[in-house]
Structure 1
Amino acid sequence: MASITQDMKYRLSLIKYAERYGVTKAAIKYKTNRQYIYRWKRRYDGSIESLRELSRRPYHHPNQHTPEEIKLINDMHRRNPDAGLVVFWVKLMQRGYTRSIPGLYRFLRKQGLMAIKPPNPKYIAKPYEQMKYPGQRIQIDVKFVPSACLVNEATGQKFYQYTAIDEYSRWRFVEAFEEHSSYSSMVFLQHLIKAFPLPIECVQTDNGQEFTKRFSYNVREGNITLFEEELLKHGIEHRKIRPFTPRHNGKVERSHRKDNERFYATHTFYSFSDFSKQLQIYNKRDYIRFPMRPHGWKSPQTVLKEFIEFDVTYV
């Protein structure tokens, strides 16, 4: 049952007062006009439901669907109950239907004929492969230094942060560069191999052209980047993540997000040498020596050192 509104109560009170004291006094007391009172007195049949405001929706519309169009829609819906709105509209158009897609949508929704879209299959993430020792796989990525951090003579320049992170120990190696290219990637890899105390078996990167020509428009068989040549030289496997899926390089991506919060949000750089120096200090003091929860609040430096000295694993 519909609820009784304040307007209905007001009209009932108005009518009862008019019956007792007259329409004129009721109009003065309730601050309305006589025509309003007479209209509701004519509609009042003794029940408060008769004082409810009626719908103003028209019974007919000059542009409503014709019986022939309704029959066409019902016949087509019976044969195509699961067709989407656009597909259903195209099928109708091929049989002489001239209405727009919004017009068809309103009719189908009103008649309850909209196709029920099945839910998308739930994505079930595969368990990530856990590394068993340092150097088994290292993730590498490049971060563009925010322009808001560059001041004075560094204003308008572009600096890049190359980052490598060992998946087992979370030990990280970073280096600043002024260019974003395959040559810079090769130089970074050479420095990484010298800095990491254990052999590197695999390097994982995205599909950027600084790492691979996998999706280059002019790629030819055997045409590889300087970075890939350096990997082959040292017998290191190059693993490329799925395109447009940065979460597969999640550890280095997460470290870049932490850099934004801990480093770039609070530092400014006056030159490239200033940026390079500050980056090295930050990485050594606030990252590889910072305790991490996955290792029981041990720092990456400690985990790597204990593995080398005592063969302590954290898998």
Structure 2
Amino acid sequence: MSHRNARLTVHGRRLLVDRVRSGRPVAHVAAEMGISRATAHKWVRRWRAEGEEGLLDRSSRPRTTPHRTPAAVEARVCELRRERKLGPARIGPILGIPASTVHRILGRHGLNRLAWLDRPSGEPIRRYERERPGELVHVDIKKLGNIPDGGGWRTVGREAGDRNRQATTTERSSCKPVIGYSYVHSAVDDHTRLAYSEVLADERQETAAAFWQRAHAFFTGHGVTVERVLTDNGSCYKSRLFTRTLTDAGVAHKRIRPYRPQTNGKVERFNRTLLDEWAYQRAYTSNDERTAALADFLHQYNYHRCHTALGGQPPISRVNNPAGQYS
């Protein structure tokens, strides 16, 4: 790789070879170009042996590494990493090798970050992305505790929060939500990360089916033609009503393997973002206040929030640019 003060770039090497081919002595050409005769002979020799390819930059990595850690030891390092989730400082003494060597081995095999490993299996996480918008939409439900009127204990403290909770529970005859749970239904497009969410009262099959109809209309309104929907194995998603709702709209239904939420990872990660940037972003004084704030979060997420998987652009940019080409 050429450095900024290099005497010879690829263009300079071609010029060197052309001057030598014209019949001029290598020593004279080297002096003119400010390089040693040995360097000039090296590039001429490479050109004669390999042609134009010989003038290109190449890796400085040696062809052989006699003192490299044996393959069996590297395999044992990887095994300890996957099975016991140990770091270099723990693996080194077990195998009798320096921790720095262990770190290089883990880096070579893509195991140097525990966050890159699937915790149950210890295997490297395989990330994927569908090629076009609507090819696959992830759907899931996040369960959240309701907030009593006046605020919960996070807002006003334990004592006042308990009083608000008891007061809200006694208002069962009113239209206000009693203490219990709200269910955030979400749909996220795999390619664009465009998201749609609603806070609903339950997770029954009728509720899930109605939510998908509204979510489908949302994606269609943004020019996204949904082809498949991926869900977990919740009872509402296993119902005939939900599957029929999808098939009537020409959408295929696919469910993940049991106990493998990583497969539905796009919406699972979106759920974490919901908690951090909406549900727990500030202290709300009522359930209605938190629910009303969801619309502003979704607008921010879809139109303004930078997404690392999209080259620092918001999801709507990929909807308008399906190829996903960013500068």
TM-score normalised to the size of structure 1?
A: 0.52
8 Å Cα contact 1:149-1:267 kept in structure 2: no
Question: How far does residue 269 in structure 1 lie from its aligned partner after superposition?
Answer: 5.6
Q: Which amino acid aligns with 1:298?
A: Q
Larger radius of gyration: 1
Q: Once the 2 structures are TM-superposed, how far is the Cα of residue 166 of structure 1 from its aligned partner? A: 0.5
Of 205, 208, 220, the match for 2:231: 205
Partner AA of 2:257 in structure 1: R
Q: Cα distance 1:145–1:126, how it changes in 2: closer, same or farther (>3 A)?
A: closer
Is 1:270 aligned with 2:276? Answer: no
Q: CA deviation at 1:161?
A: 0.6
The percent of aligned pairs where both chains have the same amino acid is 21
> Aligned-pair distance for 1:195?
0.7
- Aligned pairs for 1:19-168 within 5 A: 123-125=122-124, 127-147=126-146, 151=151, 153-168=176-191
Deviation at 1:286, TM superposition (A): 3.9
Name the SS of the counterpart of 1:259 in structure 2.
Answer: helix
Equivalent of residue 184 in structure 1, options 207, 210, 223: 207
SS of 1:191's partner is helix
2:268 maps to which of 253, 274, 280:
253
Q: Tell me what 1:175 maps to.
A: 198
| 1:250 match: secondary structure | helix
* Structure 1 residue 198, shift from structure 2 partner: 1.8
* Deviation by residue 1:54-92 (Cα, 9 ceiling, x = unmatched): xxxxxxxxxxxxxxxxxxxxxxxxxxxxxxxxxxxxxxx
Structure 1 residue 206 displacement after superposition: 0.2
Q: Is the 8 Å Cα contact of residues 146 and 287 (structure 2) preserved in structure 1?
A: no
Q: Aligned equivalents of 2:216 and 2:320: distance in 1?
A: 17
Return 5+ residue gaps in structure 2 as ranges.
Answer: 1-120, 152-167, 169-175
Say which of 240, 245, 249 aligns to 2:255: 240
Instruction: Determine the C-alpha separation between the residues in 1 that align with 2:188 and 2:271.
Output: 11
Determine the C-alpha separation between the residues in 1 that align with 2:275 and 2:148.
11
- Structure 1 distance, partners of 2:310, 2:301, is 16
Deviation at 1:210, TM superposition (A): 1.3
Taking only aligned residues, the RMSD between alpha carbons, in angstroms, comes to 2.5
Partner secondary structure for residue 193 of structure 1? helix
In structure 2, relative to structure 1, the CA distance for the partners of 1:240 and 1:125 (3 Å cut) is farther
In structure 2, the CA distance between the partners of 1:312 and 1:262, relative to structure 1 (3 Å rule), is: closer
Q: Is the 8 A contact 2:279 2:290 kept in 1?
A: no
Q: Distance in 1 between matches of 2:228 and 2:205?
A: 18
Cα shift at 1:312: 4.9
**Aligned pair in 2 of structure 1 residues 149, 124: CA closer, same or farther (>3 Å)?**
farther
Partner letter of residue 173 of structure 1? Y
SS at match of 1:145: strand
In structure 2, distance between residues paired with 1:278 and 1:126 = 33
> What's the secondary structure of 1:211's corresponding residue?
helix
Relative to its length, the structure with more helix (as a share) is 2
- For the Cα contact (< 8 Å) 2:147–2:286, is it kept in 1? no
Once the two structures are superposed, what CA deviation does each residue of 1:169-197 show, in whole Å capped at 9, x if it has no partner?
A: 11101111112111111111111111112
Structure 1 306/149 Cα, relative in aligned 2: closer, same or farther at 3 Å? farther
Tell me if the contact between 1:171 and 1:288 (Cα under 8 Å) persists in the aligned partners.
Answer: no
Question: Aligned pair 1:279/2:305, yes or no?
Answer: no
Query: Which sections of structure 1, spanning at least 5 residues, go unmatched?
Result: 1-121, 214-223
Helix, strand or coil: the match of 1:183?
helix
Preserved contact between residue 165 and residue 172 of structure 1 (Cα < 8 Å): yes
